[in-house]
Structure 1
Amino acid sequence: MRELIWRPLTRDDAQASADLLNAIEAVDQIGENYTAEDTLTELVDPSVDLSRASLCAFDGDVMVGYMKVRHKPVATSVHRVTMDGGVHPSYRRCGVGSRLVSAGISAAQVVHDLHHPSLQLVVEVYKAEKIAGVPELMASCGFAPIRYYQRMEHSLQNLPPGEDLRVEAWSAQNDSDFRFVRNEAYADYFGAAPMPADLWRNKITNQTFRPACSFLLRDADGTPASVLVTMHWEADTEYTGVRDAHFMVIGTRPSYRKRGFARALLAHALQAAASQGYDSASVSVDSESAAGAPRIFEKAGFVPKMQYVRWAL
């Protein structure tokens, strides 16, 4: 192996990042495919400081590994930063991953000191459990598993009739209500933080957002109560031939829970996705959700397909 070139990521690395992630997917098979537009969205994330909190390795013109750290714009007693990264399968077990994780821990401390220096720092990594070598790498760097998540899927063939609900699809006019409900609904979710407008635009209403399959449910007096946001990745469909509607956000404000709002909204979204030509629906569910999300999705017909682990240091 030639000597690698190490440097921070830049916005010009979108295509190289996509090529790396697709090479990783070809081996790991976790259902994540990328276009350059997808990776550019992640590179311009306002909660990522590329110059201070990212690192990548190149072998010639080929990116063979990367890491980046996302800080939380809002935090209370604990500042949970997320480290993301990956190594090209041909360069694994050569020390690249260890160097990236070590650099990520140091970068996490840097951005933590800039944004929330008085709080406790926790560095987290979220990865599919099935990826070979990840548990060993995480353990060797001091991380421990603290939470498990299930990716659940639902076929959209032969759905029973849904409820006749008074819901509204996303529009520019109700976008602020969508974000308001999401922030209130996720206030007691593990590791979640409020999304300011710029982060909402970057993470939610980007090129993967599907407004026609994203819905807001209001109560009788018009107050927004429950929300569901759908995303779709064209790169996944190109690779698999399957059009999947991924329910990225689904939540109900605490004062409206236990009234069947989320269940009804979920049924409505499944019907809408089927009518719009999607083949399946999917969601990532916290196995220890205080709101009982796993049971809600199981009753709706979702089936567990793959487990993810949240590692923390």
Structure 2
Amino acid sequence: MRCWVWHCRTSRTCRSASARRSTCADARWPRPPVNCSLPWGSCSTRGTSPGGRCSTDAQTTSPPRRRCPGGAGCGSRPRRASPGREGGFGVGPRPAADRLGANEAPGGGMDPYVGRHLNWRALTDDDLVDLDSLRGQIELLDDPVVSSLERLVGMDDVTDLSDNSVGGWDDFGNLLAYGWNIVDEDGIAKVYLLGGVHPTHRYLGIGRSVLEWQQRRAIEWRDEHRPGEPVWLGCYVDHAQAGLGKLLEKLGFEQERYFYDMHRPLDDLPPLLDVDGVRIERFDQRHATDLLKLHNICFRDTLGTRRVGNSVWQESLTRDSFRPAWSWVALVDDAPVGYALSGLDEELALEGATFGWTDRVGVHPDFRGRGIAIALLQRTLVAMAEDGCDGAGIGVDTTDPASPGLLKRNLGYEPRDGLVLMSKVVPAEHP
């Protein structure tokens, strides 16, 4: 089974062979069963993410630029488009005690037992370095579309680790599998399921067992903190992860939202569109606070999204890759009603290419259907072209898988990689 990680994506490309070998050499034992000097095949750039959203029907988000738990960088991985699958010998009877004596959770509350193949206990802050190492090894082979844990679900901080996570170790103390429930109590109770299994321990049913544990733990958390209420469970699946998608379907999850990366060259640009009664001007820092409020209004009714906090928003507007000159704001009577915020793809810049990426696009619900988003994006493309960009990209989040056709017809974007959000709602009466 492939790593199931979700919510935000950074535009990126394959690294050079030397960089891949360096990545492999830095990985902790057990190393991925692959010769890092082997060719990986072609890769595509990408940048979709569900943290901020395009609010006409589609949405975009800022690429993850934060660092992974434990302080190591999140880095991109070379992508292979082979579908994942879930193996399954099942899980045997529970032993009387784990070999590491790790069945006891901190405080004696949560039961961390998952299955017989590994030794299970709750994760703690002391495990963050090992967790980052495991995730790096998973991503080295799988190259998931999303990798940044915090940005994935719009968190300001890494939280709820010991209460809502579990790790599986071998007898030598190597972390080989994990599951982490990220809780969002804003509105309806929501729990995002993150997890993964090391490539050397797949096809043993471990991934399925971890997901089943996460579902049980989410219900336990609901009963402890939000009794008598439904709880929403969400999991993001790379389009190449066919096995994970089928497994989630068996557990009652359904497809809820779709995420696409779209790209286009910067020649033959469409003519600029003016919208009656709307003034469009370049982004300025004086717009920052009002745009955060607007952004959260744009997506407040979208299930499966989190409200963006001030620190995450400000960080996205102050990082080196952000380009105010490529970012635009739509105003009516001096109040912002739409925005398109863009930045430079830093990894492509290291390879000598200048590629613009639109991080966030939104239009106030009361002003949709007037062409504001198209007008904002047209100006974004022109600004990128004037600055000599080689191409442009955007990440789209939509409930309608046909929505990318609108951007293709009006702006010439072509779809590339994709994700799907799968979810289920556990009713209040569920035991």
CA displacement at 1:194 relative to structure 2: 3.2
Cα distance change of structure 1 residues 149 and 42 upon mapping to structure 2, 3 Å threshold: closer
Deviations 1:127-168 (A, max 9, x none): 11311521343234x132232414132134425276497323
Does the residue aligned with 2:184 lie in a helix, a strand or coil?
Answer: coil
Provide the residue aligned with 2:190 in structure 1: 80
CA displacement at 1:268 relative to structure 2: 2.4
Is the 2:356–2:389 contact (alpha carbons within 8 Å) kept by the matching residues of 1? no
Cα distance change of structure 1 residues 62 and 207 upon mapping to structure 2, 3 Å threshold: farther
Q: Which protein is richer in helix relative to its size?
A: 1
Unaligned runs of 5+ in 1: none
Unaligned runs of 5+ in 2: 1-29, 31-98, 100-116, 425-431
Does the residue aligned with 2:215 lie in a helix, a strand or coil?
Answer: helix
Provide the residue aligned with 1:252 in structure 2: 363
Cα distance change of structure 1 residues 92 and 312 upon mapping to structure 2, 3 Å threshold: same
Q: Which protein is richer in strand relative to its size?
A: 1
Is the 2:236–2:419 contact (alpha carbons within 8 Å) kept by the matching residues of 1? yes
CA displacement at 1:45 relative to structure 2: 4.2
Is the 2:326–2:383 contact (alpha carbons within 8 Å) kept by the matching residues of 1? no
Deviations 1:162-200 (A, max 9, x none): 6497323353x4321121111111133343343343564
Aligned residues: 301
Q: Would you say 1:71 and 2:183 are equivalent positions?
A: yes
- The 2-side partners of 1:246 and 1:46 are apart by 25
Is the 1:129–1:309 contact (alpha carbons within 8 Å) kept by the matching residues of 2? yes
Is the 2:263–2:416 contact (alpha carbons within 8 Å) kept by the matching residues of 1? no
Deviations 1:17-68 (A, max 9, x none): 4443343334334444x6xxx5576797447411211223344465432222
| Residue type of the alignment partner of 1:70 | I
Out of 104, 113, 120, which is 1:6 matched to? Answer: 120
Cα distance change of structure 1 residues 265 and 186 upon mapping to structure 2, 3 Å threshold: same
- The 2-side partners of 1:272 and 1:283 are apart by 18
- The 2-side partners of 1:241 and 1:13 are apart by 37
Tell me: higher relative CO, structure 1 or 2? Use CA pairs within 8 A at least 6 residues apart. Answer: 2
Aligned-CA RMSD value: 3.8
Provide the residue aligned with 2:164 in structure 1: 53
- The 2-side partners of 1:57 and 1:208 are apart by 38
- The 2-side partners of 1:243 and 1:113 are apart by 50
Identity over aligned pairs, percent: 22
Provide the residue aligned with 1:160 in structure 2: 269
Q: How does 1:205-220 map to 2 (within 5 A)?
A: 210=322, 212=324, 215-220=327-332
- The 2-side partners of 1:213 and 1:62 are apart by 47
Cα distance change of structure 1 residues 23 and 47 upon mapping to structure 2, 3 Å threshold: closer
Provide the residue aligned with 1:302 in structure 2: 413
TM normalised by structure 2 equals: 0.58
Q: Which range moves more in the overlay, 16-25 or 82-91?
A: 16-25
Out of 182, 185, 189, which is 2:302 matched to? Answer: 189
Cα distance change of structure 1 residues 231 and 106 upon mapping to structure 2, 3 Å threshold: farther
- The 2-side partners of 1:116 and 1:84 are apart by 21
| Residue type of the alignment partner of 2:301 | D
Provide the residue aligned with 2:254 in structure 1: 145
CA displacement at 1:86 relative to structure 2: 1.9
Does the residue aligned with 1:20 lie in a helix, a strand or coil?
Answer: helix
- The 2-side partners of 1:91 and 1:273 are apart by 45
Provide the residue aligned with 1:95 in structure 2: 205
Q: Would you say 1:20 and 2:134 are equivalent positions?
A: yes
- The 1-side partners of 2:200 and 2:350 are apart by 21
Cα distance change of structure 1 residues 285 and 220 upon mapping to structure 2, 3 Å threshold: closer
Out of 386, 393, 402, which is 1:281 matched to? Answer: 393
Larger Rg: 2
